[in-house]
């Protein structure tokens, strides 16, 4: 059994690798490619981002509902059936994601620039959402045990580490004026990822077939037994009804309302929304900040090195963060990272724009600590699923739907990041890409006045965003109380229910 579980962890790592290899490239280059390389109409760019915002908000709970439909409508399945269904979705839609990713970089192949941006953005996000929900919810479905979830999170981090090496290569191949090499590279990444999704998911199904049902895999018959002999109640347990509750409200909508009424869920959503915004702001504009603030101050290899490190270290650090979570709790680690992010941003904000080494360290560390928080959010959502299971007297957990609901309320930050970022750079820094590009490639030494005029506004935008986000997040996070003894009691209640099932 241990060997089969290790194989599952390896498979989970490869799936994460395939997903991250594609999504990292998309996050970094999709705005710059269409605005500055394909010269998309500015009005249509804003229109496309607004349509994307609407679709991006709708599809997360929609696909979450479709993945967990049988649970939400009361047609209970065994956990094995739920897990197998999600892995089959990965097998089928993984290649679709790879194809949509490649076509996004090829305007004119099917549509013109404007329509390719709009259709490609929505099509890519649809397949990305399906796969991200399936892979993320497996963290909760495969086990209720914290140690096992931590091992799966480490496996995912390892896959993301390998995927970060594609960022090193992409920066060398990226040329906004000549996209052929970059397109070819994207084609290779898409081919490898598509094959990885298909082959790994097939192997994963084989591994699961050889596993005995664990304590977290509760069948419909097991649940009926639990109803006949309910477990000893704790402070957070309520009796499981012997008859289904009737309601005129659709079960999915009722589930959603109950979920959103939870205090801890609402706090997490607010914190996560700001975190998603900050993460995507860093990814979308990091090449620009490197180009303006550092490129003519260091050797040519330095900026690609900083970008690669900023994608690599969050996943390496995540191994330490996950171990720290086991000892101190996820709440404490997230609070610590928020404090570090806020402190470093304040330090650089008060520093001089000529302290280029400090700015270089900040650009890398800003993304490292921001992404470090994002990597821990799945563990918090898994805890919230357990809390919701107990507090709302669920018959089973609809983990994909919960992840989809969380994404519904937080993913708008993904769309707001390029829009607000572009607005801030235009208004505060008078951003004009042609002038910036000419300055970055100019080998002559500019005067101090020229440096001040160009760099100070960019440094202000770079530091003010994390200061604003972190200060609000810290105030909100103090109110989150799913930690310590309360979290331990929730976990013990869930384990008692599942253990009682298999003792009946």
* pLDDT single digits (tens) 293-352: 876 777 777 777 787 777 777 777 777 888 888 888 889 999 999 999 899 999 988 877
| pLDDT reported for residue 145 | 67
Write out pLDDT tens, residues 380-398: 988 888 888 888 777 666 7
Q: How confident is the model at residue 224 (pLDDT cuts 50, 70, 90)?
A: very low
Q: How confident is the model at residue 3 (pLDDT cuts 50, 70, 90)?
A: confident
Burial (CB count <10 Å: 0-12, 13-18, 19+), residue 272:
buried
Mean of the pLDDT values across residues 80-92?
84
Q: How confident is the model at residue 268 (pLDDT cuts 50, 70, 90)?
A: very high
| pLDDT reported for residue 324 | 85
What is the rounded distance in angstroms from the CA atom of residue 276 to the CA atom of residue 262?
A: 21
Contact by Cβ (8 Å): 213, 80:
yes
CB atoms within 10 A of CB 173: 15
What is the rounded distance in angstroms from the CA atom of residue 212 to the CA atom of residue 219?
A: 13
The CATH number that applies at residue 145 is: 1.20.1250.20
Domain membership of residue 241 (yes or no) is no
What is the rounded distance in angstroms from the CA atom of residue 84 to the CA atom of residue 244?
A: 26
Contact by Cβ (8 Å): 60, 411:
yes
Write out pLDDT tens, residues 473-488: 999 999 998 888 888 8
| pLDDT reported for residue 434 | 46
Domain membership of residue 219 (yes or no) is yes
Domain membership of residue 245 (yes or no) is no
Domain membership of residue 244 (yes or no) is no
Can you read off the two tokens belonging to residue 185?
């590279």
For the chain, what is the mean pLDDT?
78
Q: pTM of the predicted model, to two decimals?
A: 0.66
490 CB-near residues (< 8 Å, 6+ apart) = 236, 383, 386, 387, 390, 482
Write out pLDDT tens, residues 402-431: 887 887 788 778 878 888 887 888 777 665
| pLDDT reported for residue 452 | 47
Pick the range with the lowest mean pLDDT from 179-183, 469-473, 493-497: 493-497
| pLDDT reported for residue 205 | 84
Spacing of C-alpha 497 from chain mean position = 30
- pLDDT higher than 50, residue 253: yes
Number of domains in the chain: 1
| pLDDT reported for residue 219 | 40
Q: How confident is the model at residue 222 (pLDDT cuts 50, 70, 90)?
A: very low
| pLDDT reported for residue 454 | 62
* Domain residue limits at 35: 2-235+250-503
- pLDDT higher than 90, residue 193: yes
Domain membership of residue 332 (yes or no) is yes
| pLDDT reported for residue 250 | 62
Write out pLDDT tens, residues 125-154: 999 988 988 888 887 777 666 677 778 888
Can you read off the two tokens belonging to residue 135?
């892979």
Q: Note the helical H segments in 294-352.
A: 302-328, 330-350
- pLDDT higher than 60, residue 1: no
Domain membership of residue 240 (yes or no) is no
Domain membership of residue 20 (yes or no) is yes
Domain membership of residue 280 (yes or no) is yes
Mean of the pLDDT values across residues 176-205?
91
């Amino acid at each position: 059994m241990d060997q089969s579980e290790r194989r599952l962890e390896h498979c989970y790592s490869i799936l994460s690798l395939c997903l991250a290899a594609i999504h990292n490239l998309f996050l970094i280059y999709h705005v710059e490619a269409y605005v500055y390389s394909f010269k998309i109409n500015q009005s249509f760019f804003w229109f496309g981002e607004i349509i994307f915002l609407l679709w991006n908000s709708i599809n997360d709970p929609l696909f979450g509902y479709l993945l967990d439909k049988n649970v939400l409508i009361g047609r209970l399945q065994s956990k094995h059936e739920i897990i197998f269904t999600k892995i089959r979705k990965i097998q089928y839609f993984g290649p679709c994601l790879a194809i949509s990713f490649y076509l996004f970089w090829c305007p004119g192949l099917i549509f013109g620039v404007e329509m390719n941006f709009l259709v490609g953005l929505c099509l890519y996000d649809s397949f990305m959402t399906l796969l991200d929900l399936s892979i993320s919810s497996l963290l909760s479905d495969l086990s209720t045990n914290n140690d096992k979830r931590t091992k799966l999170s480490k496996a995912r981090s390892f896959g993301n580490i390998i995927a970060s090496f594609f960022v090193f290569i992409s920066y060398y191949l990226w040329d906004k004026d000549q996209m052929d090499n970059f397109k070819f590279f994207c084609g290779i990444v898409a081919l490898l990822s598509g094959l990885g999704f298909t082959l790994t998911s097939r192997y994963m199904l084989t591994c699961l077939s050889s596993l005995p049902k664990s304590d977290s895999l509760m069948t419909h018959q097991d649940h009926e037994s639990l109803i006949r002999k309910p477990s000893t109640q704790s402070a957070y347990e309520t009796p499981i009804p012997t008859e289904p509750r009737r309601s005129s409200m659709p079960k999915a909508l009722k589930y959603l309302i109950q979920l959103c009424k939870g205090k801890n869920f609402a706090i997490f959503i607010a914190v996560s929304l700001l975190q998603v915004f900050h993460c995507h702001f860093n990814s979308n504009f990091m090449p620009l900040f490197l180009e303006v603030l550092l490129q003519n101050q260091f050797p040519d290899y330095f900026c690609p090195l900083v970008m690669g490190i900023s994608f690599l270290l969050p996943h390496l650090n995540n191994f330490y963060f996950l171990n720290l979570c086991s000892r101190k709790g996820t709440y404490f680690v997230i609070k610590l990272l928020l404090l570090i992010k806020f402190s470093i941003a304040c330090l650089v904000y008060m520093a001089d724009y000529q302290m280029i080494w400090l700015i270089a360290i900040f650009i890398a560390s800003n993304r490292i600590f921001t992404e470090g928080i994002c990597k821990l959010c799945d563990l918090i959502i898994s805890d919230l699923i357990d809390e919701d299971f107990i507090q709302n007297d669920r018959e089973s957990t609809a983990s994909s739907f919960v992840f989809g609901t969380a994404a519904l309320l937080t993913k708008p930050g993904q769309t707001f990041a390029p829009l607000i970022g572009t607005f801030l750079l235009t208004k505060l820094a008078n951003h004009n890409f042609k002038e910036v590009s000419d300055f970055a490639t100019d080998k002559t030494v500019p005067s101090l006045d020229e440096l001040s005029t160009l760099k100070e506004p960019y440094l202000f935008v770079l530091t003010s965003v994390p200061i604003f986000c972190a200060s609000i997040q810290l105030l909100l996070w103090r109110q989150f109380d799913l930690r310590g003894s309360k979290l331990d009691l929730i976990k013990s209640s869930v384990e008692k229910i599942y253990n009682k099932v298999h003792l009946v």
